Amino acid sequence: MRMIRKRIVFFLMIILFIANIPQKVDASAGVSAASAILIEQKSGRVLFEKEAHTKRRIASITKIMTAILAIESGKMERTVTVSEKATRAEGSSVYLKPGQKIKLEDLVYGLMLRSGNDTAVAIAEFVGGSVEGFAYLMNQKAKEIGMVNTHFANPHGLDDHENHYSTAYDMALLTRYAMQNKTYQKISGTKVHRAPNPNEAWDYKWTNKNRLLTKYKYCTGGKTGFTKRAKRTLVTTAAKGDMELIAVTLNGPDDWNDHISMYESGFVHYDMAEVLSKGKLDLENNKYYKKNQLYIKKSILYPATSKEIGLFSVKYKLYKPEKKWKVTKKQEKVAGKAIVYLDGRAVQETPIFYQNVPEKKKGIFNFMKDIFLSIMGVKLNG
C-alpha cells in the first residue's frame, strides 16, 4: 500500500512539474489555414506567420485593392453609369441594372460589405477605363506598396485568370497601407450601409459579410473571400488599447476562429512600447545645432514582449548643416534621424528636425520699459 501511495505522489509531482514549465506559444497549432499572418499596424512587425510568402489564390480579398484605388481616385462623389458587362459578372452581386446611375462611394460600400462582383467591374471601368486598364493600376499600386509576390488580373478575385495570386504577407502589406486611409477605415468597418436604388421603391440595405465585426468585439474591419479554387480567404483588422493588428488567412476552413486565436495571442503576448517620445531632443556631443532646437514630430511605438522591453536602444545620426541654413527667420530642416534598435537590429527610424529660432529683438517700447524698471529698482528677471 505504501509503495502504491509513493508512486501516486511521484506521478502527481511529475504532472505538477510539467504543468509549471513555461510553454512556448505556437499559434500554428490552432490555425487551420494553409497560409496565415498576424502583423502590427504601426510598425509592420510580424507577430506570427505560417507559409506567409507562399503564392495562393486570394478570391474576394482582391477587392481591398479595388476599394483603395477607387478611394484614391478622388471620384467618390461622382456618378457611375453601370455597363451591361458589369451586371453580367458571375458570383456574388448587389444586382445592379444596365444603365443604372450610382455614386462611386456607394459602389465601394457594395464592394466591401456585400462583395459585389458587379460593383467591382463597374468600379474598374469607371476608374481604370476598362477591367484591363484597372488591373494595370492594381499592379502598379502593388509594386509601389512592395507586394513582390502578387499579380492582379481582375478587380474581384474570380478564378477567370491563372495569373491572379498573392500571399498572406503581401495582403497584410496592402491592408496596412489601406488602413492609413480614413475613408477606407470607415467603409471597411461599417456594419450596415443604405444606398439609393432608382430601380425600386426601396433603398439598398447592405449588411457586412464580415461576421467578425459582431463576433469579436475588438474587430474594426476587413474583407471576406471565397471561390472553389481559392477556398475561404479572410483579412480582418482589430484594435485593443494602443495596439492595432492585421490578420490574413488563405485557404482557411475555420478562418473566423483562426483570426480570433491569432488576435488573442497577439494581445496577450505583446505590448506597445513607447521607445522614443515626440518633442525636443537634448543630445550630448552635438556640435552642429543649438541646444533644445532638435526635435522629432512623432513618437515611436513598437510591439514587444515582456522579455524584449529592456532590449531597445536608440542611435542618433545628425547631418552636417549647409551654410544656407543660417537664416534670420524661423525655418525647419531635417537634421538627421533617430534609429531604434531591438536587440541590436534596426527596426524603426524617424527624422530629426531642426528649427532655427532667432532671438527676438526688443522694440523701443520694451527697451524704454526695461530702463524705467531698472531705475525704479525692479529686477528684470523677477
Position 285 pLDDT exceeds 80: no
**pLDDT computed for residue 19 by the predictor:** 38
pTM: 0.83
Please give the backbone phi and psi of residue 13, each rounded to the nearest 5 degrees, phi first.
-65, -40
Q: pLDDT band at residue 307, thresholds of 50, 70 and 90?
A: very high
Residue with the larger pLDDT of the pair 162 and 8: 162
Distance CA 165, CA 151 (A): 6
Amino acid at 151: H
Amino acid at 1: M
Radius of gyration of the chain (CA): 29
Q: Is 115 a catalytic residue?
A: yes
| Cβ atoms 167, 56 nearer than 8 A | yes
Q: Is 103 a catalytic residue?
A: no
CA dihedral 127, 129, 132, 135 (to 10 degrees): -20
| Cβ atoms 70, 127 nearer than 8 A | yes
3-class secondary structure per residue, 125-186: HHHHCCHHHHHHHHHHHHHHHCCCCCECCCCCCCCCCCCCEECHHHHHHHHHHHCCCHHHHH
**pLDDT computed for residue 284 by the predictor:** 72
Catalytic annotation, pick one of 43, 115, 188, 265? 115
Catalytic annotation, pick one of 35, 43, 50, 60? 60
| Cβ atoms 274, 300 nearer than 8 A | yes
* Closest among 192, 272, 190, 278 to 239, alpha carbons compared: 272
pLDDT in tens, 218-262: 999 999 999 999 999 999 999 999 999 999 999 999 999 999 999
Residue 6: in which H helix or E strand, if any? helix 2-19
Q: Which three cell numbers stand for residue 298?
A: 512623432
Q: Is 60 a catalytic residue?
A: yes
**pLDDT computed for residue 16 by the predictor:** 41
Write the CB contacts of 332 (distance below 8 Å, at least 6 apart in sequence). Answer: 353, 354, 355
Residue that is written with C-alpha cell 495582403 in the block = 171
**pLDDT computed for residue 360 by the predictor:** 53
Catalytic annotation, pick one of 43, 50, 63, 188? 63
Position 154 pLDDT exceeds 70: yes
pLDDT in tens, 7-41: 554 454 444 443 333 333 445 458 999 999 999 99
- Average pLDDT, integer, range 144-148: 98
Q: Which domains does the chain have, with CATH numbers?
A: 27-269 (3.40.710.10), 273-356 (2.30.140.30)
Q: Which three cell numbers stand for residue 366?
A: 520694451
How wide is the angle at C-alpha 244 spanned by C-alphas 31 and 343, nearest 5°? 85
Distance CA 187, CA 197 (A): 19
Write the CB contacts of 19 (distance below 8 Å, at least 6 apart in sequence). Answer: none
CA of 205: how far to CAs of 80, 82, 110, 167, 189, in Å?
A: 19, 19, 9, 32, 16
pLDDT in tens, 322-367: 766 554 456 788 889 999 999 999 999 999 998 765 555 555 666 5
Percentage of residues in the chain having pLDDT higher than 70: 83
Other residues' Cβ atoms within 10 Å of the Cβ of residue 189: 18
